[in-house]
């Protein structure tokens, strides 16, 4: 079958890692008899350089007309990149938030899984790692602080900046339903993370999550305060199955969870709306410090492409094949520098992509 994929290379290491994910997808096409037609879409700094804005209406239309979007990462070094001389609403990150909103991608799934082979790259002690862990963070992606009213005002010579954290019950309900549906296919445990001891939005969050939980009697629900969750992630990561949380908490906790999998270069993500459509991107950023060096880990992006095959294109066996190839390459001892350990074989971005593709 033919599928239309919108491809967003983005900035920094984005083009390098997307090239490798595309290589793997092309191999999937060859082996399983599909064809993917790619349309390249500019986002972030790459779009600013050409169009003066981080996202155009045409880019949104191209994404909407595709079966799924595969993305690298956007953004630059805030100190040195000219993009950060622009007003905040014209910077690369604003483009990413705008495309998430325009496509209604409210559900951001970030699986954090520790491969046995990467136990040595995990900074936790062996007794903390135990049998390893396999959790998924379900992060609300189109509400909260990211999309609330924002302003900076000067009054009587004093500058005040305001960001607002708003959620309505419908926004909470739809992400909670997503988390419980996912839990039903996993170990049937949801940890809902909030700051209900301080925030009204968290108290509403808790109430709505409890209502949703009534429809899922088989799923165990627990509530956890976000500061405790940050601690528990490094104290006992094996306790988590599905972590359900709001936008900003999910952003922070997912970077933390990524590190205990060995590297942020391992953490894939899917951003979904109510349909099968989704945008797939690694959880990490454009890593300006290593861009152009050919050393970035492409596995998060390759695993995001596997999520795309599974969730948006219904190609389960093809997704399995990509995940198995990643597993195999790790078992064979190949590592990019971020997950390198004694006795392993160090490879660059392109070699890692080649190795995965050859094993499909």
Residues annotated as catalytic (active site), given as ranges: 146, 195, 227, 251, 255
Q: Is 286 annotated as a binding residue?
A: yes
Q: Which stretch binds ligand NAD (CB under 6 A): 154-162, 186-194, 231-239, 283-291?
A: 283-291
Minimum CB distance to ligand IPM smaller for 281 or for 318: 281
Q: Which residues are registered as beta bridge partners of 37?
A: 4
Site string for ligand NAD, 49-78 (x = CB under 6 A): ------------------------xxxx--
CB contact at 8 A, 166 and 201: yes
Shortest distance in whole angstroms from residue 20 CB to ligand IPM = 19
Q: Is 295 annotated as a binding residue?
A: yes
CA 353 to chain centre: 19
Q: Which stretch binds ligand IPM (CB under 6 A): 17-25, 92-100, 182-190, 296-304?
A: 92-100
CB contact at 8 A, 141 and 302: no
| Given 110, 139, 178, 284, the residue binding ligand NAD (CB under 6 A) | 284
**Tokens representing residue 209 in the block:** 């999550």
Q: Is 348 annotated as a binding residue?
A: no
Considering CB under 6 A, how many residues would be counted as binding ligand NAD?
20
Backbone angles phi, psi at 140, to 5 degrees: -65, 135
Half-sphere exposure at residue 285, Cβ-oriented, CA atoms within 13 angstroms: 15
| Given 290, 302, 322, 357, the residue binding ligand NAD (CB under 6 A) | 290
Q: Which stretch binds ligand IPM (CB under 6 A): 93-101, 173-181, 302-310, 317-325?
A: 93-101
Q: Is 57 annotated as a binding residue?
A: no
CB contact at 8 A, 357 and 322: no
**Tokens representing residue 61 in the block:** 């239309």
**Tokens representing residue 185 in the block:** 């296919």
Site string for ligand NAD, 248-277 (x = CB under 6 A): ----------------xx------------
Residues ≥6 apart with Cβ < 8 Å to 208: 169, 172, 173, 176
| Given 14, 45, 75, 111, the residue binding ligand IPM (CB under 6 A) | 75
Residue 195 DSSP class: -
* Residue 245 binds ligand NAD, judged by CB under 6 A: no
Q: Is 104 left (phi over 0), alpha (psi -120 to 50) or beta?
A: left
CB contact at 8 A, 191 and 257: no
| Given 126, 127, 289, 342, the residue binding ligand NAD (CB under 6 A) | 289
Shortest distance in whole angstroms from residue 338 CB to ligand NAD = 4
Alpha-carbon distance 1 to 33, whole Å?
A: 7
Please state, in angstroms and as integers, the Cα–Cα distance from residue 222 to each residue in 4, 176, 186, 216, 304, following that order.
40, 13, 16, 13, 28
* Residue 251 binds ligand IPM, judged by CB under 6 A: yes
Q: Is 130 annotated as a binding residue?
A: no
Alpha-carbon distance 7 to 27, whole Å?
A: 17
| Burial class, 113, CB count within 10 angstroms (exposed 0-12 / middle 13-18 / buried 19+) | middle
Q: Is 213 annotated as a binding residue?
A: no
Minimum CB distance to Mn ion smaller for 96 or for 329: 96
| Given 67, 194, 251, 281, the residue binding Mn ion (CB under 5 A) | 251
Task: Output the known binding site.
Answer: 100, 110, 139, 227, 251, 255, 285-297
Known binding residues for NAD(+): 285-297
Instruction: Name the site residues for Mn ion (rule: CB under 5 A).
Output: 251
Q: Which residues bind to ligand NAD, rule: CB under 6 A?
A: 73-76, 93, 96, 264-265, 281, 284-290, 296-297, 300, 338
């Amino acid at each position: 079958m033919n599928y239309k994929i919108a491809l967003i290379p983005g900035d920094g290491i984005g083009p390098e890692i997307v090239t490798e994910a595309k290589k793997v997808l092309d191999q999937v096409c060859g082996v399983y008899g599909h064809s993917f037609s790619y349309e390249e879409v500019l986002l972030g700094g790459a779009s600013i350089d050409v169009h003066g804005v981080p996202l155009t209406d045409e880019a949104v239309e191209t994404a909407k007309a595709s079966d799924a979007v595969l993305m690298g990462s956007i953004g630059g070094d805030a100190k040195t990149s000219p993009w950060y001389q622009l007003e905040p609403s014209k910077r690369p990150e604003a483009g990413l938030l705008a495309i998430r909103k325009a496509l209604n991608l409210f559900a951001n799934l970030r699986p954090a899984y520790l491969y046995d082979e990467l136990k040595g790259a995990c900074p936790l002690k062996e007794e903390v790692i135990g049998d390893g862990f396999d959790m998924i963070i379900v992060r609300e992606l189109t509400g909260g602080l990211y999309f609330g009213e924002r302003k900076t005002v000067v009054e009587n010579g004093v500058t005040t900046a305001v960001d607002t954290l708003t959620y309505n019950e419908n926004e909470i309900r739809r992400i909670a339903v997503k988390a419980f549906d996912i839990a039903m296919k996993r170990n049937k445990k949801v940890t809902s993370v909030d700051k209900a001891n301080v925030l009204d939005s968290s108290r509403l969050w808790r109430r709505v999550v409890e209502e949703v939980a009534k429809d899922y009697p088989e799923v165990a629900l627990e509530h956890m305060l976000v500061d405790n969750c940050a601690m528990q992630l490094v104290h006992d990561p094996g306790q988590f199955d599905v972590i359900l949380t709001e936008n900003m908490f999910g952003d922070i906790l997912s970077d933390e969870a990524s590190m205990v999998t060995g590297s942020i270069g391992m953490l894939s993500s899917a951003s979904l709306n109510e349909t099968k459509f989704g945008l797939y991107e690694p959880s990490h950023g454009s890593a300006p410090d290593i861009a152009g060096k050919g050393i970035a880990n492409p596995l998060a992006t390759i695993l995001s492409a596997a999520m795309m095959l599974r969730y948006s294109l219904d190609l389960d066996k093809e997704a399995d094949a990509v995940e198995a190839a990643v597993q195999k390459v790790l078992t064979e001892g190949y590592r990019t520098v971020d997950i390198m350990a004694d006795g392993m074989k160090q490879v660059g971005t392109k070699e890692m992509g080649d190795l995965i593709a050859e094993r499909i």
